[in-house]
C-alpha cells in the first residue's frame, strides 16, 4: 500500500470541499490565498474573530492566523478534527481532487517518483501564540519541586500546570486530567508543548503526549538557551531531565527520546566547543550514543557521562547531590 505524505497531496486538495466540511467560509480570496474568520480552535480570540484573521495559502498548504499562529493544513485538520497525524492524512485525502492537471495515474506515478527520490521537503513548523500558555501559568506546582525543577527555571521556560487538561482521541473520546505543560520554543517561537500527565491516564494515553504536529524530529528542546551559554550543554532524552540539570546550573538540551535525527545532529554541530552526551541506561540510550558518535565526532568534541545505574535510569533519577558527584565521571569519546 502506498502511504501518502502531506507533501504529496496538498497541491491536489479541493479546498472548497474541505472548507465546507470544516464549516469555514472564505471572505476574500486571491489566486493563492483565502481569508476569513478564524476557527479559534484554541480560544485565543477574546470576542471571536470579527475581522477575518485566518489566511489559508493553497499553494503552500499552510494556514496562519495573526492571533493564534499557524502551521500546515494537516496540523489544522488534526486540531479541528481531533485526529492523529495518520488519521488526519487519511481524512484529508478524501479531498484530493484527481481531476486536476494530472490524471490519477500520473499523480501516483509522480508520488512514487518522489518517494524513490525521497528528497525531504522542508515542512513548515507549527507555531502558536505564546499567550495560549497564560492559562496554565501561575502557581509553582509542588510536583516540579519534587522533580528538582526550581521556580525560577519553571518560570523562565514557562512551564505550566493544567488541572483539567483535555486530550481527544478519535475512537476513545475525550480524557480530562491533571498535566504539567512543558512548552517548546524554537528560534524564538512557541512551536508546541508536551503534556506530562500527573493523573492516571487510560492505556491509549502515554505519560507524555504533545501538541499536534509536534516537531520532535526537526528540533531540539532548549537549543536557544544552550546556544547563549558559555559551557557545553549536556544532551539528554527528556525535557524534565533537562529542566532539572538547568536548575542545577548545567546547560542542557533534550532530544524528545532516544532517536537522534539528521536534522538534530546538524543542529548539535553548532556547539563548536562540544557537547556532553548523557544517554538513558537502556538499548535506546546505547543507540543514541552510537548515532551521535558516528556523525558528530568528525565535527565537534564529544564527552560522555556514564549511564546512571539501574535499568532505564537517567540523570533525572538522581538527587542534586548525587548529580554533582555523578557528573565528575565525564569521559572523552574518541
Ligand atoms: Zn485565530
* C-alpha 71 to ligand 1 mean position (Å): 12
CA–centroid distance, 58 to ligand 1, in Å, is 18
- From the CA of 65, how far away is ligand 1's center (Å)? 5
Q: Report CA(74)–ligand 1 centroid distance (Å).
A: 16
The 10 Å CB-count burial string (b at 16+, else e) for 222-244 is bbebbeeeeebbbbbbbbbbbbb
Which of 25-39, 241-255, 282-296, 320-334 shows the lowest mean pLDDT across its residues?
320-334
CA of 279 to the centre of ligand 1 (A): 40
- Predicted local confidence at residue 265, as pLDDT: 96
Residue 196 CA, distance from chain mean position? 14
pTM for the model: 0.82
What is the structure's pLDDT at 285? 95
- The Cα–Cα gap between 129 and 124 comes to 16
> Tens digit of pLDDT for each residue in 165-203?
998 877 788 899 999 999 999 999 999 999 999 999 999
130 Cα: distance to centroid of ligand 1 (angstroms) = 13
Contact 332, 300 (CB under 8 A): no
Distance (Å) from CA 50 to ligand 1 centroid: 10
Mean of all residue pLDDT scores within the chain: 90
Of 169-173, 211-215, 228-232, give the range with the top mean pLDDT.
228-232
Residue 151 clears pLDDT 80, i.e. is over it: yes
pLDDT class of 122 with cuts at 50, 70, 90: low
Residue 280 Cα, ligand 1 centroid: separation in angstroms? 40
Residue 182 Cα to ligand 1 midpoint, Å, equals 22
Distance in Å, CA 107 to ligand 1 centroid: 34
Alpha-carbon Rg for the chain in angstroms = 22
**Range 116-121, long-range pairs (CB < 8 A, 24+ positions):** 121/7
Distance 68 CA to ligand 1 centre (A): 4
| Residue 275 CA to ligand 1 centre (angstroms) | 39
Instruction: Assign 116 a pLDDT band (cuts: 50, 70, 90).
Output: low
Report CA(293)–ligand 1 centroid distance (Å): 43
CA of 84 to the centre of ligand 1 (A): 21
Residue 73 Cα, ligand 1 centroid: separation in angstroms?
Answer: 14
Predicted confidence at residue 264, as pLDDT, reads: 97
- Going from the Cα of 43 to the center of ligand 1, the distance in angstroms, rounded, reads 8
Instruction: Give the distance (Å) from ligand 1 centre to CA of residue 166.
Output: 20
Who has greater pLDDT, 125 or 149? 149
How many angstroms separate the alpha carbon of residue 38 from the centre of ligand 1?
A: 5
* CA angle at 293 for the pair 292 and 296, rounded to the nearest 5°: 70
- pLDDT at residue 287 tops 90: yes
Residues 6+ apart with CB under 8 A from 186: 125, 215, 219, 223, 224
Q: Please give the distance, rounded to the nearest whole angstrom, from the Cα atom of residue 138 to the centre of ligand 1.
A: 24
pLDDT of residue 84: 83
- Tell me how far the alpha carbon of residue 263 lies from the centroid of ligand 1, in angstroms: 30
- In our burial notation (b when 16+ CB lie closer than 10 A, e otherwise), range 174-190 reads ebebbbbbbbbbbeebb
Rounded to the nearest angstrom, the distance between the alpha carbon of 222 and the centre of ligand 1 is 27
Distance 261 CA to ligand 1 centre (A): 32
- How many angstroms is it from 45 CA to the middle of ligand 1? 6
Separation of CA 233 and ligand 1 centre (Å):
36
- The more confidently predicted of residues 85 and 26 is 26
Amino acid at each position: 500500500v502506498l502511504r501518502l505524505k502531506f507533501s504529496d497531496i496538498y497541491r491536489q486538495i479541493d479546498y472548497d470541499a474541505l472548507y465546507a466540511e470544516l464549516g469555514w467560509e472564505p471572505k476574500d480570496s486571491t489566486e493563492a490565498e483565502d481569508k476569513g474568520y478564524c476557527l479559534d480552535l484554541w480560544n485565543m480570540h477574546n470576542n471571536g474573530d470579527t475581522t477575518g484573521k485566518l489566511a489559508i495559502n493553497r499553494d503552500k498548504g499552510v494556514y496562519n492566523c495573526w492571533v493564534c499562529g499557524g502551521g500546515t493544513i494537516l496540523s489544522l485538520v488534526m486540531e479541528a478534527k481531533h485526529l492523529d497525524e495518520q488519521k488526519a492524512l487519511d481524512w484529508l485525502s478524501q479531498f484530493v481532487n484527481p481531476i486536476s492537471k494530472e490524471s490519477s495515474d500520473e499523480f501516483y506515478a509522480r508520488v512514487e517518483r518522489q518517494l524513490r527520490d525521497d528528497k525531504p521537503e522542508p515542512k513548515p513548523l507549527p507555531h502558536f501564540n505564546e499567550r495560549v500558555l497564560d492559562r496554565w501559568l501561575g502557581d509553582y506546582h509542588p510536583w516540579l519541586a519534587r522533580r528538582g525543577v526550581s521556580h525560577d527555571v519553571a518560570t523562565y521556560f514557562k512551564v505550566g500546570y493544567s488541572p483539567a487538561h483535555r486530550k481527544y482521541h478519535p475512537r476513545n473520546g475525550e480524557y480530562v486530567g491533571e498535566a504539567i505543560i512543558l512548552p517548546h520554543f524554537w528560534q524564538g517561537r512557541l512551536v508546541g508543548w508536551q503534556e506530562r500527565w500527573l493523573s492516571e491516564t487510560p492505556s491509549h494515553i502515554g505519560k507524555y503526549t504533545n501538541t499536534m504536529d509536534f516537531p520532535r524530529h526537526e528540533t531540539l528542546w532548549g537549543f536557544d538557551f544552550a546556544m547563549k551559554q558559555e559551557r557545553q550543554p549536556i544532551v539528554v532524552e527528556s525535557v524534565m531531565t533537562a529542566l532539572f540539570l538547568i536548575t542545577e546550573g548545567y546547560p542542557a538540551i533534550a532530544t524528545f527520546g532516544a532517536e537522534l535525527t539528521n536534522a538534530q545532529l546538524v543542529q548539535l554541530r553548532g556547539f563548536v566547543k562540544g557537547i556532553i552526551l548523557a544517554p538513558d541506561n537502556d538499548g535506546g540510550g546505547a543507540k543514541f550514543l552510537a548515532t551521535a558518535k558516528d556523525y558528530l565526532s568528525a565535527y565537534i568534541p564529544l564527552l560522555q557521562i556514564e549511564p546512571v545505574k539501574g535499568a532505564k535510569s537517567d540523570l533525572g533519577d538522581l538527587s542534586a547531590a548525587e548529580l554533582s558527584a555523578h557528573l565528575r565521571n565525564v569521559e572523552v569519546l574518541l
